[in-house]
Structure 1
Amino acid sequence: MCHNMERMNGQITANRQFFKDSVAEEQIIYAPLCLNPLMARIATEVGFKYGYLSGGALGFELAISEALLTVNEIREYARQIISRSEIGLIVDIGVGFGDPVHTWRAIRELEAVGATAVEIEDQVAPKRVHHHKGVEHLVSSQEMVEKIKEAVSAREDRTFQIIARTSAISNESMESALSRAKEYREAGADVILLQPRDEQELKAIRSHLEPPLALISAPGRWPEETLLESGFRLMFDPFTAQVASVQAVKTVFETVSRRGSLAELDSMMSEYRKLQIYAGLESLYELEGRTTEK
């Protein structure tokens, strides 16, 4: 147990330091959605170093809304992912669950379970379900600055990164977004997340803000060179994996409902047998081999 804890703590420390160093370099770090340990292990298997626990995706996963998630729910999902994978997990904590004091607690909780970074945004608290329809209400920049300052002071490990997100481009103006971004960085945010909608907005960002910047996007929407020139170093993708999963499940259910069977059963069973590999059961087989199955 002691050896495993040392290994996990070493992995957490390495993930944080490597992430902090990487965002300072001229490269795009792509972090796919990781909703559970299995997804995180698969992401690591195919070569990703970082994953994104999206509040929006988790809300859909639980068939409610990000607006109704609690800090305990997000902490527990993050804990499970980190304890069973080597992924560096970036956790979306929405609006920080309330006032600066609630954000302070959220930061302490997520740092304690080993998150690599957290993302906090400048919408009102409590967050409203209508944000899914594009109806977003922002707090004042001063309120957000206070949250960021308390988030920064709450962390004990300075390599644990604070990402501040503003939705001002679509809800106020580019001028407001740029002003907010500068204030958030001065308050101590390590990375600023913005959502440009076109090349013109990218150009405005390039002219006024220094890297590292982050955005949320499906891969392939923006040329990597364009993003790098504009100061972006992080791309979070909360959509692709969940949409692909939902589409696959719906297709299988519809096929079985309509036909009563699956023509692809053999290939699916072959993939099913791989699940024990993805889940890391080999170490558990070895444990039982030393004990109950020897």
Structure 2
Amino acid sequence: MSVQATLRQLLQRNTVLSAPGIYDGLSARLVELAGFEAAFVSGACVSFARFGRPDMGLVSAAEVSETVAVIRERTAMPLIVDMDTGFGNALNVQRTVRTFERAGASALQMEDQLMPKRCGHMRGKQVISPAEMVGKIHAALDARQHEDTFLIARTDALGVNGFEDAMERAELYLEAGADALFIEAPQTLDQMQAIGARFGKRIPLVHNLVEGGNSPVKCAAEMGELDYRIALFPASLLHLFVPAAQHLLQCLHRDGQVESLRKNMVDLAAINDLLGADELLAAGVRFQPEKR
């Protein structure tokens, strides 16, 4: 069974697929060991964790592709990959699709923001015309090498032009052949209900559950009741990691030690076990020269 086919099979179930955001091999390993069946390679978290920058279109396609390849080497989970705007026009979109597929993407999420994009829950976004986005969707579908690779069309128009424009764009993106729809940052439960009623039986719907964002719902179960199918938790790991790291560093700076925090920490042996050190060592024995 191909990695790409797995995501489609997961969506055959009558449940919401939860996909935590990941950004490197360790986060991918943690998500997989926790029992999740898919993960979201979040462009925001790649920017946060790798470059220490906000989600404002500062990460390149090559940098995301490299991150996907590193993660794919560590896990067979379906990877929903954030491809932002496709990193340019329709021709750029085609190259991005091919590059990300080769790196190991199972699904690609493309949005209709104007470059340089920014986080969907930030002010100051701009969107391209619906016609241009439809062209980019066609370009992406023509470029994909595996027909099982999922294309998620995201519109950020709700926060720019209003709810009706976002709904009209979603209809056009569905007609263009997108495999799933993502109307970013609905502002009320009524809006989410309207989105689910119009599209939920026709195509998988995606929603972002961002701590501090604008979501009217708080959990995957609520999304299921509204006919949404994919729940993205793009930054939850990092949102917990940051205060924990800050607390540790404050203690270290103040006390010159972290012994008081050891009960909340793993040690070297535990992290080696988590990451499969024994399996690697055992595999390496096969290639050692025989003793004579």
Q: Bigger shift: 56-65 or 214-223?
A: 214-223
Rounded to whole Å, the distance in 2 between the matches of 1:38 and 1:102 is 30
In the alignment, what sits opposite 1:73?
63
1:205/1:270 CA distance change after superposition, 3 Å: closer
In the alignment, what sits opposite 2:245?
249
Rounded to whole Å, the distance in 1 between the matches of 2:141 and 2:39 is 22
In the alignment, what sits opposite 2:168?
179
How far did residue 292 of structure 1 move? 3.8
How far did residue 63 of structure 1 move? 1.7
Query: Which consecutive unaligned segments of at least 5 residues does structure 1 have?
Result: 1-9
Q: Is the 8 A contact 2:28 2:75 kept in 1?
A: yes
* Secondary structure at 2:229 match in 1: strand
How far did residue 50 of structure 1 move? 0.7
In the alignment, what sits opposite 2:48?
60
Q: Is the 8 A contact 2:39 2:77 kept in 1?
A: yes
Q: Is the 8 A contact 1:215 1:235 kept in 2?
A: yes
1:188/1:74 CA distance change after superposition, 3 Å: same
How far did residue 103 of structure 1 move? 0.6
Q: Could you list the per-position Cα deviations for residues 26-72 of structure 1 after superposition, in whole angstroms to 9, with x for gaps in the alignment? A: 21100001111111111111101111111111111212344111111
Residue type matched to 2:208 in 1? I
Quick one: which of 13, 17, 33 aligns to 1:29? 17
Rounded to whole Å, the distance in 2 between the matches of 1:60 and 1:23 is 29
Quick one: which of 116, 124, 131 aligns to 2:114? 124
Q: What is the TM-score when the length of structure 1 is the normalising length?
A: 0.88
The alignment covers a number of residue pairs equal to 281
1:183/1:270 CA distance change after superposition, 3 Å: closer
- After the TM superposition, which residues 78-97 of structure 1 pair with which residues of structure 2 at under 5 Å, given as runs? 78-97=68-87
1:200/1:266 CA distance change after superposition, 3 Å: closer
**CA RMSD after TM alignment:** 2.2
In the alignment, what sits opposite 1:143?
132
Rounded to whole Å, the distance in 2 between the matches of 1:239 and 1:150 is 29
1:223/1:43 CA distance change after superposition, 3 Å: closer
Residue type matched to 1:43 in 2? V
* Structure with the higher fraction of residues in helix conformation: 1
Query: Which consecutive unaligned segments of at least 5 residues does structure 2 have?
Result: none
Rounded to whole Å, the distance in 1 between the matches of 2:151 and 2:119 is 26
Rounded to whole Å, the distance in 2 between the matches of 1:89 and 1:162 is 12
1:26/1:131 CA distance change after superposition, 3 Å: closer
Work out the percentage of aligned pairs sharing the same amino acid: 27
1:269/1:288 CA distance change after superposition, 3 Å: farther
Q: Which runs of 4+ in 1 moved over 6 A?
A: none
